[in-house]
Amino acid sequence: MTRVLTTIHLCVLGLWAGALLMAGGAAAVIFPTVKDLQAQVPALSTYTGEHWRLVGGRVANKIFLIADIAQLILAGTALLTLAMLGLRRAPAMRAGRAAIVWIAGLGASLMLLSYHLLVLQPRMGANLRKYWDAAGAGQNVQAQEFRLAFDADHPTASRVLITLAVLVVITLIAAVWQNTRQGSEAGRS
C-alpha cells in the first residue's frame, strides 16, 4: 500500500506542476496571438478599448479556471496521500534533508495556493467580470478603471503562480529523492 500511495503522491505532484506550467504557457501564447490578429468584437462596437485584451482574457480566464480546479483537487490529493504515508510510518517519511524539503515544500505550496484561491483570484476575478460587463455596456471609463484594478494585481498573480510552480517542482524532486534514497537503503539491507 505504501508504494501505491507514494506513486499516487508523486504523480499528483507532477500533474500539479504541469497544470501550472500549461496555464502560464497558454496565456503566454494566447495574448500575443490575439493581439497580432487585431481582434475586433462586433458585439462590443461601443467599447473603444483594446478588444484583443477582452478576447484573450476570456480564453485565458477559462484556462486558469480549469487550472485552479485541477490545483485544488491535486493539492488535496497530495496532502491526503502524504498524511496517509505519515500515518503508515512509511520509511521515506523518516527524517532527512530531502524529507524535510518534501514536507516543507508541500506545506509552503498549500499556503501559497490558499492565498491564490482565497484572496488574489477572487479579487482579480471580480475586477475582470466588472471590466467585461462595463466594456459590453459601452461604459469605457468604468471598463478602463476595472481593467487597471485587474492589471494592478497581475504582477503579484504572476509571481505567485511562478513561485507556486517552483515550489511544487522542488517538492516533487525532494519526494522522489527521499523515496529513491529510502528504496536503495532498503535494497542494501
Model confidence pLDDT, tens digit, residues 61-104: 999 999 999 999 999 999 999 999 888 776 766 778 888 899 99
> What gap in Å lies between CA 178 and CA 102, rounded to an integer?
8
Contact (Cβ atoms closer than 8 angstroms) between residue 124 and residue 153: yes
Residue 92's alpha-carbon distances to 103, 132, 135, 166, 167, in angstroms, are: 11, 49, 54, 22, 20
pLDDT value of residue 185 = 55
Residues 6+ apart with CB under 8 A from 26: 60, 63
- The residue with cell 471590466 is 131
SS (H, E, C) 151-171: HHHHHHHHHHHHHHHHHHHHH
The mean per-residue pLDDT over the stretch 163-172 comes to 97
How many folded domains does the chain comprise?
Answer: 1
Residue 10 in grid coordinates: 508523486
> What range does the domain containing 6 cover?
2-188
Maximal CA-CA distance, the chain: 75
pLDDT value of residue 180 = 85
User: Could you report the per-residue pLDDT of 4-26, keeping only the tens digit for each?
Assistant: 999 999 999 999 999 999 999 99
Residue 108's CATH number: 1.20.120
Whether 132 has a pLDDT exceeding 90, the answer reads: yes
The mean per-residue pLDDT over the stretch 174-181 comes to 88
Whether 187 has a pLDDT exceeding 50, the answer reads: no
Predicted TM-score (pTM) of the model is 0.87
Give the pLDDT band (50/70/90) at residue 55.
very high
The mean per-residue pLDDT over the stretch 130-139 comes to 95
Q: Is 138 helix (H, G, I), strand (E, B) or coil?
A: coil
